[in-house]
Amino acid sequence: MNEDYTDLEVRQESRKPASEIYMLIKSYPKEELFGLTNQTRRSAVSIASNIAEGCGRQTFKDTINFLHIASGSLYEPEAQILISLDQEYISKIQLDSAYKSIQTCERLLNGFINYYRKIQ
């Protein structure tokens, strides 16, 4: 894989949902610390983590596998921020902003997966 994967737009964009979600959950109630707060953080971080791990793999098959895992990981924080809206921990405006970051990352990641399949 690309040794300088840090320059990839998909890698750079994959950090944005995590950053946005970290900002959102700062206002969650303390009783959610080991529930929704922890789960949402972990799921948001796993997106960028799986892209990085995939880029560090030595085979096309392994790389694409981790990119698919990252793609699946995008759905977790999406579900969790919807639950956060239902619980009135965040506003609709905050939800829309976080969701936009997730969608942008999803488009870039799908494009990267398709590109990577073609070059193998």
pLDDT beyond 80 at 4? no
pLDDT value at position 6? 73
pLDDT beyond 70 at 2? no
**Using 50, 70 and 90 to split pLDDT, how confident is the model at 102?**
very high
Amino acid at 9: E
Fold of 5-119: de novo design (two linked rop proteins) (1.20.1440)
CB-neighbour burial class of residue 73 (10 A; exposed 0-12, middle 13-18, buried 19+): buried
pLDDT value at position 120? 75
pLDDT single digits (tens) 39-86: 999 999 999 999 999 988 888 899 999 999 999 999 999 999 999 999
CA distance 3 to 8: 11
Average pLDDT over residues 4-28: 88
Q: Where are the alpha helices (DSSP H) in 26-91?
A: 38-55, 60-73, 75-86
The contacts of residue 111 (CB under 8 Å, 6+ apart) are: 10
